[in-house]
Amino acid sequence: MKNYFSELAGKTVVVTGGSKGIGKEIALTFAELKANVVISGRSEEALNEALAELKKFNSSCFAVQGDLSEIQNVRKLIDAAAEQFGTVDILVNNAGVNIAKPAMEVTEADWDTVLDLNLKSVFFASQAAAKYMIAQKSGKIINIASQMAFVGYVKRAAYCSSKGGLVQLTKALAVEWAEHGVHVNGVAPTFIETELTSKMFEDLDFQEDVNRRILLDGLSQPKDISGAVLYLASDLANFVTGETIKVDGGWTAI
């Protein structure tokens, strides 16, 4: 019987925003499968804590600190992974930010902060990784989008715009790089139960609205997202490109 996902052992996997929440869960999933995982994040303390967990599964994992809104840090991350392991096989563009404000209160700085990390950095990280993937004629790029790429929601004008753009970017890069053996796909989560969203759900009206819109019971867990990412990174998805999988508990089905 085939040992599914065994092909991921020894692969070089870069996970942006890999020190907390969904990103850390994704990174741990790959590390458990003995992939060489490189994570990025802004907080040195959070990176060190996450890296200690990763190294329990694979001592080769390492972290690169930096704000990916600054494109030189994006390129530094990808090149560091390639320099250490020889190439980049899988890139998970997970780093993202939201500034929840009514549209009439969004400033130019707010807009730039959201779009620079959620969309601009993804393009340049993908471009940097594709340099190595095209050379080896294989690679998987997985973009963490959002259900908000497909539906609107209050106080999310910039966020919805960034994630909608990300879904279209996923398609555009998939079309352009297919001939080089590079697959580009996305995963679109709903609201996830993590330490990063716990404060958000202190607003009981917001929590009730979210629970009402999700058809399945309860909030999504980080492992639900890492499962979709794992599928897209594996050989099981070798004929899938340009697709964004919604992991939203049925929110967008209505």
CA distance 32 to 37: 10
CA distance 89 to 106: 38
CB contact at 8 A, 35 and 62? no
Q: Which whole number is the average pLDDT over 152-163?
A: 97
Between 80-89, 99-108, 160-169, 188-197, the lowest mean confidence (pLDDT) is in 188-197
Query: What does the pLDDT read at residue 201?
Result: 85
**What pTM was estimated for this model as a whole?**
0.96
Query: What does the pLDDT read at residue 1?
Result: 46
Query: What does the pLDDT read at residue 25?
Result: 97
CA distance 118 to 25: 19
Q: Which whole number is the average pLDDT over 61-81?
A: 98
- Whether the pLDDT of residue 196 is over 70: the answer is no
Q: Which whole number is the average pLDDT over 157-164?
A: 98
> What contacts 102, CB < 8 A, 6 or more positions away?
154, 155
What homologous superfamily is domain 7-246 in, according to CATH? NAD(P)-binding Rossmann-like Domain (3.40.50.720)
Q: So where are the chain's domains?
A: 7-246
pLDDT tens digit string along 221-240?
899 999 999 999 999 999 99
Average pLDDT of every residue of the chain: 95
Q: Which residue has the higher pLDDT, 207 or 79?
A: 79
pLDDT category of residue 44 using cuts at 50, 70 and 90:
very high
Q: If you ran DSSP here, which 8-state letter would residue 102 be given?
A: -
Query: What does the pLDDT read at residue 218?
Result: 80
Query: What does the pLDDT read at residue 19?
Result: 96
pLDDT category of residue 30 using cuts at 50, 70 and 90:
very high
Q: Identify which of 40, 51, 228 has the alpha carbon closest to the alpha carbon of residue 143.
A: 228
Residue 4 annotated in active site: no
Q: Which of 4, 132, 153, 159 is catalytic?
A: 159
Question: Percent of the chain at pLDDT above 70?
Answer: 99
Query: What does the pLDDT read at residue 31?
Result: 98
CA distance 185 to 34: 22
pLDDT tens digit string along 78-112?
999 999 999 999 999 999 999 999 999 999 999 99
pLDDT tens digit string along 16-28?
999 999 999 999 9
Q: Which whole number is the average pLDDT over 35-63?
A: 97
- Whether the pLDDT of residue 202 is over 90: the answer is no
Tokens standing for residue 121: 């950095």
pLDDT tens digit string along 235-252?
999 999 999 999 999 999
Q: Which whole number is the average pLDDT over 185-190?
A: 97
CA distance 103 to 101: 6
**Long-range contacts of 50-59, Cβ-Cβ distance < 8 Å, separation of 24 or more:** 50/18, 50/19, 50/20, 50/24, 53/24, 53/28, 54/27, 54/28, 55/31, 56/31, 57/28, 57/31, 57/32, 58/31, 58/34
